[in-house]
Structure 1
Amino acid sequence: MRILESSLCSAFALALALAAHAEPSNYEIHARLDQGPGNVTVTGTGRVIFSQHPFYGPADSVVELKGGGGPTPFPNAALNDRGGPSALKLDSVLGLRAAADGVVWMLDNGMRGGMTPKLVGWDTVSDRLQRVIYLGSEAAPKDQFVNDFAVDLAHKRIFISDPAGGADAGIIVVDLETGAARRVLQGHPSVLPENVDLVIDGRPVEMKDAQGNRVRPHIGVNPITEDVRNEWVYFGPMHGHGLYRVKAADLADDQLPPAALAQRVERYADKPISDGISIDRDGNIYLGELAENAIGVITPDRKYKRLAQCPNLSWVDSLSFGPDGKLYAVVNRLHQSAVLNAGENASKPPYFLLKVDALAPGLAGR
C-alpha cells in the first residue's frame, strides 16, 4: 500500500511539475494516525510531540509518538485527564513548541471545557511541570481562539496569534519573566482576514451559525513564526494573501506606543490561504497551501513556490523542524470535520505525520 501511495503521488507530482516546469516533490509519510492531529513540535533530542485537534474530540489533548508504538499521552495521562477537577488539566491544546532549553510549551484555549486559556510549560529534561501562565480577559477576549505561537528566549517572550472573531484579531505578547500578557496590533490590517473563501477540491469550507445557516469563515491571524536569530516575527491572517513581519524587539517592547508598533509592521510577501508556518536557518518560510493540497515555501527573495502537491497533503496544518534537519508536518483534513463541513463529519483516518525535505536545516522545535 505504501509503495502504491508513493507511486501515485510521485506520478501526480511529476505531472504537475512538468506542467509548471518545476522540480518533483520529496516527502514521506512518517506515521499514519487514527486521530486527527493539530500541531506538531520536535525537541532537540528528537522527541515528536503533537496535539490532537479539538475539533475531533480526542481523549488526550497532547501525545508523543514513540518508536514502534502508537501515540501516548504527553507529558502523562494525568495532565490529559479532562475529567479531573484541576484547572491545570489540558483541555483543548492546538499550538505547541519545544524551546531550546528543553521546555515544551502547550497553548490551551480551553474551549471544550470552558476553561481560562493558558500556556503550560513542561520541562522535558527534568520531566516536571515548569510553569503555567493564564491568559486573562484583557489579553484574550471571550471570542479568543488562541492557536499558534513562537517562543523567543532571547527576548523572554512568547508571541501568540489569536484570530478571535475576525475584526478583533490580534497578537498576544507574554512576558516569560513576569507572566504578564498584553494584546497588540488588534484590528491592524496585518492580522485581519481578507474577504476570500477557502475552496478545497471544488468545495467551499462552510460552518453553521447559531441559526443553522451556512457561512463561509474568514479567519484572521493564525500562522506565526520567528527566524532563528530572533530578529523578525512573521505572521499573517489564515484567510489572506499577505505575510507580514515586525521586529521581535519591537513586539517585545511594552513601552512602545501602539501607533508606533503598527507603523513598524511591514508586508513581507504574498502567500496562499494557509494555517501553520515554519522557517529554516536560511530564511525560507514553509507553509501548507490549503486550497491546493500542497506545501510551499517563501524564499528569501520573497517569492512563493510550491514544493509538493498531492491528495495526501489534505490540510497541512502545522510544521516544525527536528534535529535531523527534516521538516515535520501534520495532515488532518480539517475541512472535512463537522465544524468546517457544515455539521457533517466526512473526515476519516488515517491522518498523517510527514517528513519533508527542506531547502535548509532549521531549529528543532521551530
Structure 2
Amino acid sequence: MYTIFLLCILLISTFSLLGGKGKSDKEKRELRFWHSIGTYNKDVLNSLIENYNDHNRQVLIKGVFQGSDKDLYLKLISPETRPDIVQISVQFLPALVEKNELVDLTSSIPSKLKEDIEDKFWSSVSYRDRIYGIPFLYSVNLLFVNQHILRIAGVRRDTTPASWPEILSISEKIKDNLGDKWPLFIPMESMMHFLSFVQSYTGEPAIRDGKILINTDKSIDAMQFLRDLVFKERTMPAKLSIDEGENLFLSGNLGIIAASSSLLVYTESNLPYDMNVWYLPSSAATLPFITGSCLAILKSSPREKRESIRFIEYLTDYENAIKWHTHTGNPAIRKSVKSSLDLIVFYEDNPNHMASINEIERGLIFNPSSGYLEVSEVLGKALEAIMLKGEDPAIILNSAQKELDDLNLRF
C-alpha cells in the first residue's frame, strides 16, 4: 500500500513538472532574428542563441539564415513576413532608414557601450546624426597563404610582399615548380572586392571627393593585370566562386587566396598545413577598406523593442565580443576587449589574428550614404565581363563609369 502511495506521488510530481515546462515554453514570446551568417560561422551564432534561450524566461529567439547580405536586404523590403531583429550590412542601412524600416536607437544605447566603441563604427550605423544599429561584425580583406606550398615551391617568405608584381613573381615560381597547384586566387564578385584590390594595386584612393572612380589609367591597369592572371599567365583559376576558391585552398591545391578576416578561424582550423596571413599591399596614400554589419530592430514590432535590445546587448557584450574574434576572425571593435589580457594571451598562440586587428585600427569603413545596390549592380556586370568573359577592361570600365556618373550619387 505504501509503495502504491509513493508511486502515485511520483507520477503526480512528474506530470506537474512536465505540464509546467510545457506551459513555460508556450508563454515565451518568439522574436525572429534574420541574419546572413552562413556556413563558416553559423555554429558560433547558433551556440550563442541557444545559450540565450536557455537562460531567458521571457522570449525565445529564433535565428533564421537569409542568404547573402543582398538577399537579406531584398527580403526586408518585400511584403513578406519580416523579423523583429536583423543583422544588416552597414551599406544597406541608409536605404532601410529612408524607407522608414528601422527603429531609432539613439536614446537606447547605454553610455558605457557608446564609449567602448570608436566613433568610426558608430558613424557607420548612423544616418543624419541618428543611430539605427549597434556595431556588430566588421572585417577586412587579407591574403591567406599556404606555407607548405610556398616551401616546396622554393619560396622563403614570411613578410607581406610590397607590391602585386612581387606577388605575381611568387605565383610564377609556384606555377613553374608545382604544376599541379594553383598559385593564386583573388575573388572578384563584389563592389568591395573591386575597391579593395584596385586601391591596393594602384596605391590611390578609389573614392575621391565623394565619387567612385573606376576608370582611371591605374584602375584599368589593375584590372588588366588581374585579367591576365587568368587568361594569359594562367596563374589564377577562372570562373571560380568564393566558396569554390575556399574549398580549393582547404584541399591544399591553392597557394594564396584573398579572403575576408571573418573566414580566418574556419580556414586555419580546416587547412591541414601551416597558414600565414599577409596584408594586401598598400601605400601611405590609402587606407584598407572595412566592411561591417550591425544589429537593428524593425519598426514592425515596437512592442518587443526592450527584449530585442537585451538580445543585441548580449550578442555584443564583452564575453561574446571576445568569442566572435577568437572563434571567427572578425576583429574586436570594443576598446575594453582589444586591450584585454584575454586577447594578449590569445595572440601569443594565434599571431595570424593580429593582422585583422592592425588593419581595422587604421582602416576606413565603407558606408555610402545611399545607392549601394545600384552601384554594386553596375560594378558586378563590369567584373563579370572582365573576369569571366575576358573582355577589355578599358572598354568595360569606361562604360561602367558613365553609368555610375548618371546615377549622380555621393559617397
Q: TM-score range by the shorter chain?
A: under 0.3
Structure (1 or 2) with the larger CA radius of gyration: 2
TM-score (norm 1): 0.25
Structure with the larger RCO, 1 or 2 (CA within 8 Å, 6+ apart): 2
TM-score (norm 2): 0.23
More strand by percentage: 1
